[in-house]
Structure 1
Amino acid sequence: MLIRRYRKGEESALFDVYYSAIHLVACRDYTPQQIEAWAPRDLDASLWERRIRGINPFVAELDGTVVAYADVQASGYIDHFFVSGAHPRRGLGTMLMKRILEEAARLGLRELTSDVSRTAQGFFERFGFGVVEQRNPVLRGITIPNALMRLELQNAR
């Protein structure tokens, strides 16, 4: 597996990862209405492209196929962290999180934060993140509960 920076033109592949992660995995913890509001198939492609270009994620590639991606912003915020629903439990998330932690150290960040789905909270906890606050954001008129999670970093500059 290769972890590298996103390349312009991969937005559609990243959308497929996002969509499958939500529709095939997060569906265990959310209702069909929540899943559809969170990840509709007809999401505006130009908005998606701008979002992906803005977050500039790391991409996990397996046999030439994009199978996961995650970002960390200069503020320490992890906006997206998704593993394809077709490739669960293969260590892809772990490898991506390790890359995010390396990048955080390189940037000298003091903490990482993320709004984490119910589905991913246990995964983030395994890396030392703790729940700061349970939240109930509304997306497309539907409440999709998540948690603000934080990890204090030891080796910040």
Structure 2
Amino acid sequence: MKESIRVRRFREGDEAALSEIFHSAVHRIALVDYTRRQIEAWAPRTLDALAWRDAMRTLAPFVALRGEQPVGYADLQGNGYIDHFFVSGHHPRQGIGGLLMARLEAEAKRRHLQAMCADVSRTAEPFFARYGFEVVERRSRSLRGVELANAYMRKLLRSETAV
């Protein structure tokens, strides 16, 4: 029997595990939609550990765990922007993304946000669409001199007080 998955807030010390999740998600899952050159630009084998640590502490994501092992993470910024949303490439299609999305939406409603939005990879676009996000604009982003196509997606949230 598989261990259940739970979601908790980020804790200092999670940074290395989240780096591995990010890397495996890009290299194992996004590879179907991007070239090897694009994948390497997006998630190079070596990332600046201090910069990554600082970024994760700033983002303060929610972390999905199977037992005590982090298997995914996602953040929600104060303006409703989702900067990172990644599930380990070793644990795809196991409901982890759905649990993280439910947690983000609950948090957005708790904060009385009107919408959530994200710059979403080609790979993640169908997932976000399943959760009610719509493409606002198709974009391209340059990372380390390499262009990567993505989409800016947004989901309007219903107000609990609306009739």
TM-score band w.r.t. shorter chain: over 0.9
**Partner SS for 2:97:** helix
Check if 1:71 corresponds to 2:75: yes
Matches of 1:117 and 1:84, distance apart in 2: 15
Deviation digits for residues 13-35 of structure 1 (CA, Å, limit 9, x no counterpart): 00000000000000000000000
Q: Deviation above 4 Å: which 4+ runs of structure 1?
A: none
Q: Which runs of 5+ in 2 are unaligned?
A: none
1:119 aligns with 2:129: no
Q: TM-score, normalised by structure 2?
A: 0.95
Identity across the alignment (%): 52
Partner of 1:147: 151
Runs of 5+ consecutive residues of structure 1 not aligned to the other structure: none
Give the corresponding residue for 1:8. 12
Query: What is the one-letter code of the residue matched to 1:144?
Result: L
TM-score (ref. length: structure 1): 0.98
- CA offsets 1:51-98 (integer angstroms, 9 cap, x no match): 100110000000210000000011000000000000000000001000
- In the other structure, the counterpart of 2:93 is 89
Matched to 2:124, the amino acid is A
Secondary structure class of the residue paired with 2:45: coil
Q: Distance in 2 between matches of 1:139 and 1:81?
A: 18
RMSD: 0.9
Task: Tell me the SS of whatever aligns to 1:144.
Answer: strand
| Letter paired with 2:132 | G
| Separation in 2, partners of 1:83, 1:148 | 19
Q: Match of 1:125, as an amino acid?
A: A
The 3-state SS of whatever aligns with 2:89 is coil
